[in-house]
Amino acid sequence: MIDRPLSAAPYNALLLLADGTVFYGFGLGVTGQTMGEICFNTGMTGYQEVLTDPSYAGQIITFTFPHIGNVGANEEDIEATLPHARGLVVREPITAPSNFRSQHHLQGWLEQHGMTGICGVDTRALTLHIREHGAQNALILHAAAGQALPSPEELRAELKAHPDLNGMELAETVTTTEPYGWTQTIWRLSAGGFGTAGDCKHHVVAIDYGEKLNILRLLADYGCKVTVVPARTPAKDILALNPDGIFLSNGPGDPAATGQYALPILRELLASGVPIFGICLGHQLLALAMGAKTAKMHQGHRGCNHPVKNLLNGKVEITSQNHGFSVMKDSVPDDVEITHVSLFDGCVEGLRHKTKPAFCVQYHPESSPGPHDSRYLFEEFVGMMSAHRINEPLSMKKA
């Protein structure tokens, strides 16, 4: 067991792990208590995008970069309208903002959204502990002024009762409740902000399992009219929208649990022959629909510096990642090809069907935050839709 520091006397917050490990520090955001699966993100930038990424629903994020807050917070660097992470752990107190786009101090932004966190934690020791002992639930308690910290023993029973992400369905907690259209394109400094899609050549229906907004922005940026639909939308309703392509979004939770309702829909969509592109949870669900299996990882991949090899051309991409489950390599069926693998641990990072117009990647080509090495995948999706339209029978071509 690690207990850093040994005395809780000067501190007003603690981090308790399910295995009994305790860290003491100073509270961030609002006072109170939060629980979730502890994980770590190795990105040096993009903390606001990370905290609002719906894929982090149910998780507490440890930022390995020690200085968090220097960019401040704004209304543009978001991947959802509200934060979805359960809490955050950082090394140093929140850094004062120093960026021309800053609108809020990060501390004020956390308070505005009711988020709880802890600083003063030895995040190197915590990260090494997670690497060695694997993902597990954790609890952050930020005591109010004048309130003494409880002993860890008082909190362990409550933490033990908190459900594990393995087997947990979370996509329904973050999906849209109603269909909607999307036209906003990506943020550009030269334009002074976001743009609006102009002439759209393709119609994409995006199934929302907890999608990041930058995915929608890039689809619009590549000339797509985008219609977003809830996770449980029946295949017949999706096909009735007459899509040129179907996009399967990222999202939180166990793909096998989400698959209980998603797989019958996806199998029907695969049989339709409409091009399909999946990212993250969408990749895992498409893999399950094509006959593969998924499993929970020991510690997951989260950060902006993950090397992935494209097996189709031999090139290496530096990617942005956020996943705690992966497709089991030995379960991939013969009619599906592995296209990308992680150079960290060899896990499956990309797949494509050999006879159907469907492909997917485990990582995040839309970045936000992260490098832009993999944005060509959106071009490939557009190219697949164009080819599919050309090959359609004349009576079925879009007007």
Calculate helix-pair angle for 213-221, 376-391, nearest 10 degrees: 60
Question: Which of 280, 304, 347, 360 is an active site residue?
Answer: 280
The whole-angstrom separation of Cα 343 and Cα 83 is 31
Range of the domain at 190: 171-396
On whether residue 124 sits in a domain, the answer given is yes
On whether residue 60 sits in a domain, the answer given is yes
Do 207 and 155 share a structural domain? Answer: no
Its pTM stands at 0.94
Of 65-79, 154-168, 385-399, give the lowest mean pLDDT range. Answer: 385-399
CATH of the domain at 66: 3.50.30.20
Do 186 and 221 share a structural domain? Answer: yes
Task: Quick: pLDDT tens for 334-390.
Answer: 999 999 999 999 999 999 999 999 999 999 999 999 999 999 999 999 999 999 977
- Of 93, 126, 160, which residue constitutes the final position of a domain? 160
366 is catalytic: yes
Give the percent of the chain with pLDDT over 70: 96
- Of 160, 181, 201, which residue constitutes the final position of a domain? 160
Q: Which residues contact 398 (CB under 8 A, 6 or more apart)?
A: 203, 242, 244, 389
CB 298 within 8 Å of CB 258: no
On whether residue 153 sits in a domain, the answer given is yes
Do 156 and 179 share a structural domain? Answer: no
On whether residue 166 sits in a domain, the answer given is no
Number of domains in the chain: 2
On whether residue 189 sits in a domain, the answer given is yes
Which residue, chain included where needed, has tokens 């660097």?
Answer: 77
- Of 123, 140, 160, which residue constitutes the final position of a domain? 160
pLDDT greater than 70 at residue 394? no
**Ordered DSSP codes for 296-355:** EEEEEEEEEEEEEEETTT--EEEEEEEEEEEE-GGG--TTEEEEEEETTT--EEEEEESS
Based on its alpha-carbon atoms, the radius of gyration of the chain, rounded to whole angstroms, reads 21
pLDDT for the residue numbered 192? 86
Task: Quick: pLDDT tens for 213-228.
Answer: 999 999 999 999 999 9
Do 148 and 196 share a structural domain? Answer: no
CATH of the domain at 391: 3.40.50.880
Do 241 and 362 share a structural domain? Answer: yes
364 is catalytic: yes
- Strand pairing category for 224-230 and 180-182: antiparallel
119 is catalytic: no
Closest to 155 in 3D by CA, of 271, 275, 18, 53: 18
CB 189 within 8 Å of CB 211: no
Do 156 and 202 share a structural domain? Answer: no
Question: Which of 283, 340, 353, 364 is an active site residue?
Answer: 364
Do 345 and 197 share a structural domain? Answer: yes
On whether residue 13 sits in a domain, the answer given is yes
Do 231 and 175 share a structural domain? Answer: yes
Question: Which of 49, 79, 169, 366 is an active site residue?
Answer: 366
Token couple for 97 = 């903002």
- Strand pairing category for 316-327 and 294-310: antiparallel
On whether residue 165 sits in a domain, the answer given is no
Name the phi and psi angles at 315, rounded to 5: -80, 155
Do 189 and 152 share a structural domain? Answer: no
Do 124 and 268 share a structural domain? Answer: no
Distances (CA, A) of 36 to 15, 28, 64: 11, 16, 18
Do 295 and 248 share a structural domain? Answer: yes
pLDDT greater than 70 at residue 393? no
Task: Quick: pLDDT tens for 81-112.
Answer: 999 999 999 999 999 999 999 999 999 999 99
**Mean pLDDT, the chain, integer:** 94
Do 329 and 380 share a structural domain? Answer: yes
